[in-house]
Amino acid sequence: MAEEKTYLELSEKTSHKFYEITLNGTQLFVRYGRIGDPGQNQTSSFPTTEKARQEAQKKINEKLKKGYTQAIEGVRKKRPVTRRIIEEDSTTNTITSSKKRSSSNTVNTIPAPDVVVKNNPAPLLWKFDTRASALGIFVSNNLCWVGNEAGKIFALNHNGEIHAKFKLPEGVKCIVADTDWLYAGCDDGNVYDLSGKTPRIAYEIAENVDIYWIDIWDAILTVADANGNVTTFNHEDESQWTKKSSGYRGWMVRCDEIGIYHGHSKGVTMYDWEDGKFIWEKSSDGMVNFGWQEESAVYACTDKGKIHAFSKKGELLHTYVCDRTIYSCATAENGKYVFAGDLNSIYCFSEDGTRLWKLATECGAPQSMQFYQDRLYIVTHHGFLACVDVSESAIALAQKGSLPKTTTFTAPAVTEISATSLETTSDQSRGIMVECFRQGKDLRMRVISAGYNHNWNCQFPKGIRQEGARYLVDEIRQSKNGSFYRAFGNIRKLSN
């Protein structure tokens, strides 16, 4: 018996997905995912061919009702993706940033200084080898998160021991926090919520956007892309506005309750939250490679080896001068110390711009970093998450050549997970109940447990919404602006 295949696609707003169903006798094969990706697979068996056919038609009708249409696979191309690639040339000692899956010329080569002075090693307490170049990092009271270009995410305690691991479909660009929510921005255009046991797709970015960096504040997502655009999305993953900066390559975007700070090839621009109104722009004397913020200042590091500190009003506060291209920066609380990373070194400055020390990483260029309680955590282009003791006593010893013994951990194998799989339960006492309903052509969520405003929408992963279905979540929290709810923690579907 010849197999029967139906291929469907959905492309609306920021959602670009496919759904393929193949009927072969009594077996039903389903493949689904983001357009351009291999997707995920499911197989079901039925007692008769007729029952298999009925189930296939039921699934097709459900997708058609949601707006899917028949299509030809391969006509729509996969999104462009830029990855930061740092190449160390043994003859010219150059640094290169290049683009993946793009026909345009986006290679940026910056020569290193003529004289390279070998530094003493930094005091590394431990390092964790993720086995692929790493950009994503977030450090909390309990855990250190790292995400690499293979799509692997690990959560370790402050001693380097693994507490959680995930494998996402594409590489991880960054990991950012929005109060207690943690998100991973990835090369497939998805932004995953990592707050529960299973990562969930919280936002989907339009397929023609080459994402560089993201930040989130009170569920508002801000995206900086290769062309120098900044775009915001609300809690329902709906685009609010887009602004084009004077430059391109937005490796920096930072947000707070005041506005959005966007670093690009020409400098740093600030926009208003509500409508993207231009507030100020300052030159950075070079391309911005990364950015950091504290309560009263933003920091932009450049390919000219400088870190500029600007007030939130756009005033230049300090400039920190390094010896070569800087890939990342961070500060201690309120900018007491400023840290930076080049091809193979870490710098530390006092707040006023005085260089205090420079030490070698010996595990690659720090592509992102974060300070926490006398420790500097870095992720490198060699794939390491490393913990550096930056206390005054440890640095003094390191400058004299006395170093702690570094413990090395290696990442275990990780199996890719499905962001749409759901645990089911019939126990209604184990959480707060939310319901999916149709509002025009959109599926919305509302909280139906007692004590909540039933007229407010609730931020909830789109990929698992099913009209009429009810779900139990660990917590429901009110947004900072007091106009919608946000689901937090694990999600279970309520069985009938």
pLDDT of 332 over the 60 cut: yes
First to last CA, the chain: 36
Rounded distance between C-alpha atoms, residue 176 and residue 457, angstroms: 24
296: pLDDT confidence band, cut at 50, 70 and 90?
A: very high
- pTM to 2 decimal places: 0.82
Rounded distance between C-alpha atoms, residue 352 and residue 320, angstroms: 9
Number of domains in the chain: 3
Region of poorest pLDDT, from 37-46, 114-123, 305-314, 363-372: 114-123
Specify whether the CB–CB gap between 131 and 114 falls below 8 A. Answer: no
Are residues 406 and 434 both part of a single domain?
no
Q: What is the pLDDT of residue 87?
A: 65
Rounded distance between C-alpha atoms, residue 215 and residue 203, angstroms: 12
Are residues 298 and 441 both part of a single domain?
no
Report, as an integer, the average pLDDT of 204-223: 89
Rounded distance between C-alpha atoms, residue 217 and residue 213, angstroms: 14
User: Is the residue at 329 inside a domain?
Assistant: yes
Per-residue pLDDT of 51-106, as tens digits, reads 999 999 999 988 888 778 888 887 666 667 887 878 664 333 333 443 333 333 33
Select from 389, 410, 431 the last residue of a domain. 410
Rounded distance between C-alpha atoms, residue 223 and residue 203, angstroms: 11
Instruction: Dig out the tokens for 22 from the structure.
Output: 């193949």
Per-residue pLDDT of 135-182, as tens digits, reads 999 999 999 999 999 999 999 999 999 999 999 988 999 999 999 999
Determine what percent of the chain is predicted with pLDDT higher than 70: 91
Are residues 208 and 345 both part of a single domain?
yes
Domain range for 26? 4-70
Q: What is the pLDDT of residue 257?
A: 95
Are residues 52 and 190 both part of a single domain?
no
CATH of the domain at 338: 2.130.10.10
H helices then E strands: how many in the chain? 2, 44
Q: What is the pLDDT of residue 384?
A: 98
Q: What is the pLDDT of residue 112?
A: 39
Are residues 400 and 464 both part of a single domain?
no
Are residues 323 and 446 both part of a single domain?
no
Are residues 236 and 305 both part of a single domain?
yes
Instruction: Dig out the tokens for 16 from the structure.
Output: 């670009």
User: Is the residue at 77 inside a domain?
Assistant: no
User: Is the residue at 89 inside a domain?
Assistant: no
- Strand (E) or helix (H) holding 49: helix 49-65
User: Is the residue at 138 inside a domain?
Assistant: yes
Percent helix, percent strand, percent coil in the chain, to nearest 5: 5, 50, 45
State residue 394 phi and psi, 5-degree precision: -70, -40
Rounded distance between C-alpha atoms, residue 144 and residue 409, angstroms: 14
Q: What is the pLDDT of residue 116?
A: 45
Rounded distance between C-alpha atoms, residue 477 and residue 283, angstroms: 40
Select from 384, 410, 436 the last residue of a domain. 410
Are residues 318 and 201 both part of a single domain?
yes
Region of poorest pLDDT, from 30-44, 387-401, 403-417, 445-459: 30-44
User: Is the residue at 374 inside a domain?
Assistant: yes
User: Is the residue at 314 inside a domain?
Assistant: yes
Nearest alpha-carbon partner for 79 in 136, 21, 135, 11: 11
CA angle 56, 60, 64 (to 5 degrees): 170
What distance lies between CA 195 and its chain's CA centroid?
13
Report, as an integer, the average pLDDT of 377-388: 98
pLDDT of 490 over the 50 cut: yes
pLDDT of 279 over the 50 cut: yes
SS3 186: strand
12: pLDDT confidence band, cut at 50, 70 and 90?
A: low
Q: What is the pLDDT of residue 74?
A: 72
* Per-residue buried b or exposed e for 212-249, using 16+ beta carbons within 10 Å of the residue's own CB: bbbbbbbbbbbbbbbbbbbbbbebbbeeeeebebebbb
Per-residue pLDDT of 395-434, as tens digits, reads 999 999 999 999 999 999 998 888 888 999 999 988 999 9
State residue 124 phi and psi, 5-degree precision: -80, 125
pLDDT of 36 over the 80 cut: no
Report, as an integer, the average pLDDT of 273-287: 95
Report, as an integer, the average pLDDT of 17-36: 88
User: Is the residue at 85 inside a domain?
Assistant: no
Are residues 251 and 292 both part of a single domain?
yes
Are residues 233 and 303 both part of a single domain?
yes
Are residues 470 and 402 both part of a single domain?
no
The DSSP output letter for 77 is P
- Strand (E) or helix (H) holding 392: helix 392-399
Rounded distance between C-alpha atoms, residue 390 and residue 402, angstroms: 14
Are residues 182 and 320 both part of a single domain?
yes
Region of poorest pLDDT, from 12-26, 374-388, 395-409, 411-425: 12-26
Q: State the DSSP string of 208-276.
A: T--EEEEEEETTEEEEEETTSEEEEE-TTS-EEEEEE-SS----EEEE-SSEEEEE-SSEEEEEETTT-
User: Is the residue at 81 inside a domain?
Assistant: no
Instruction: Dig out the tokens for 322 from the structure.
Output: 């390094």
Select from 376, 410, 444 the last residue of a domain. 410
Amino acid at 173: K
